[in-house]
Structure formats: C-alpha cells, structure tokens
Amino acid sequence: MRLLFFPFLHFNRTQLQHYLAGKTILITGASYGIGECLAEKLAETQAHLLLVARTEAKLIAVKQRVEAKGGRADIFACDLRDADAVQTLLTRLQQHFGGVDIFVSNAGKSIRRSIFDSLDRPHDFTRTMNLNYFAPVSLLLGLIPNLVARRGQVINISAVNVLLIPAPKWAAYQASKTAFDQWFRCVSPELNARGVRTTSIYLPLVRTRMIEPTQAYQHLPAMQPEQVAQLICQAMLSRKQTYAPWWLMLGQLASVLLRGVWEVAMGYALRRKLKRTR
C-alpha cells in the first residue's frame, strides 16, 4: 500500500532529536489525526511543542501523552476560522514565547457537497476559506519576522487535489486549499531568499475523520496519519521544498491533456445520474 504513495518514510531518529533540540514547533490541527500523531512522534525530542486546535479537552489529552514520553508541550484552544481568535493567538505566542522555529500548517476542513445543496449555505465557503486559507496566511504574516530571524521552516500540509483537475462537489474544499497552496508558492521564493525554508507536502487520501463522511473513500487506498507524521519528520530534517507521490506528475500531465475528455465524460455521467433520480 505504501508503495502507491511515499515508499521511503524512514528518517534517523537520533539525528532528528539532535536537530530539534531546543527548537520551538507550532502545529495547527494538533488534536486529531496527523497533528496528534506528529505531536506524539516529536515527544521524544527536546523540542518545545505549541499545539493548536479547537477542542481543549482533546489538546489536554495530547499534551499529557507528550509529557508522559518526556516531551514538552503548551496548548492553545483556538478556532482558526475566527479572525479575532487568530490574532489573539498570535499575540499570546509573541508575548509568552521566544519565537517559532518550525510552523506546521496542518489544520484543515473538508466539504464534499453539490453546489445545488449549497445554495442556501454560503458558510460552506466562508468556513473553508477561513480555515484553509485566511488562517494560515494570518499566522504566517505574524510569524514571518521571527522565522526569518531564526532561519526557520514552514511546512504546508497540502493535498494532491490542488494540482489535479477539479472534481464536482469539491468546490469549497479545493478552492480554499488551492488558494493557500498558490499563496504559499508565491511567497516561498521571498522567504527562501531570507533563509526560511518552505516545504509543501502533497498528500493523497489519509485515513482520518476528515474523509469519514465520504462513503466512496472508505474502500480506497489511503495513508495512515502515523505515516504522514513520519513524512513530516523527514521533511524537518531534509528541508526539501516539495514532497509528492511519485505518480502525481503523471496525474498533472493527464489533467492538462485530458481536460476536455474529462469534462465531457463527467457532464454525461452527471446528466445520466440526474435522469435516474427524477
């Protein structure tokens, strides 16, 4: 299964512990899935973890597991969809901590819904944009001066979808994820020139609660959150600019060459499905 995505997830644990000793790592979406697994995997390093998520009770449980392994963690219950809450979080980070060395932008929201089911739900789009785009942008605007001073790293947990042909029913999710991916790719050369490393990790399906509502995904191949946490640890050591499944380039080529075929075929399939439901 792993060969479909990232065959080589190994990293040197001793080297990682040495590299992260004394560093401060900010992780959003730290209460479930990828963020939770990453926090636990970093617990045995000497890094200071700053864990951000909405659910305080779950953050407390993650913090306790980190500390049980000898790690150090502070938690911040914050709804990143709320612009005022994001600014409050930034103020707390700047006032009480010496700065951030690595920012892992992991928090995200997924929605799969027909546009005809969203006509009276504009919040489908504002919520996904607030969490998947505006929140990481706002956080980085506040963190960049310190990241430059520390020659730090930003790791964006992205998705292969943003580089492939768009699919029906994913307008809210794909637009918001693509927006931040484009923003991040635009600012990366400027950050790199100032000594800040930038890493985009393009993930396929990951077996987290985010994909649970989509029945079609239940039996498809998917990575486990623990595997993604390993990949992020590897990215911290290598500081590579991009991680993506080996087949993504082929998918991108097909998205360009077969766009017309895809759109005609998808339109035909949707019309047939609509006729069957009438």
Q: What is the 3-state secondary structure (H, E, C) of 203-270?
A: ECCECCCCCCCCHHHCCCCCECHHHHHHHHHHHHHHCCCEECCCCHHHHHHHHHHCHHHHHHHHHHHH
The mean-pLDDT minimum among 135-149, 204-218, 239-253 falls in 204-218
Rounded to an integer, the average pLDDT of 192-199 is 98
- State yes or no: is 217 an active-site residue: no
At residue 43, the pLDDT reads 96
Q: How confident is the model at residue 218 (pLDDT cuts 50, 70, 90)?
A: confident
**CA angle (172 as vertex; 167, 175 as ends), nearest 5:** 75
Report whether pLDDT(3) > 90. Answer: no
Tell me: the pLDDT tens digits for 52-96?
999 999 999 999 999 999 999 999 999 999 999 999 999 999 888
* pTM metric for this prediction: 0.94
Catalytic residue among 133, 173, 202, 243: 173
Report whether pLDDT(241) > 80. Answer: yes
Region for 151 from its dihedrals, namely left if φ exceeds 0, alpha if ψ lies in -120 to 50, beta otherwise: left
CA distance 110 to 254: 24
Report whether pLDDT(222) > 90. Answer: no
Report whether pLDDT(239) > 60. Answer: yes
Q: How confident is the model at residue 214 (pLDDT cuts 50, 70, 90)?
A: low
Q: How confident is the model at residue 127 (pLDDT cuts 50, 70, 90)?
A: very high
Tell me: the pLDDT tens digits for 36-45?
999 999 999 9
Q: Please, are residues 47 and 20 in contact by the beta-carbon 8 Å criterion?
A: yes
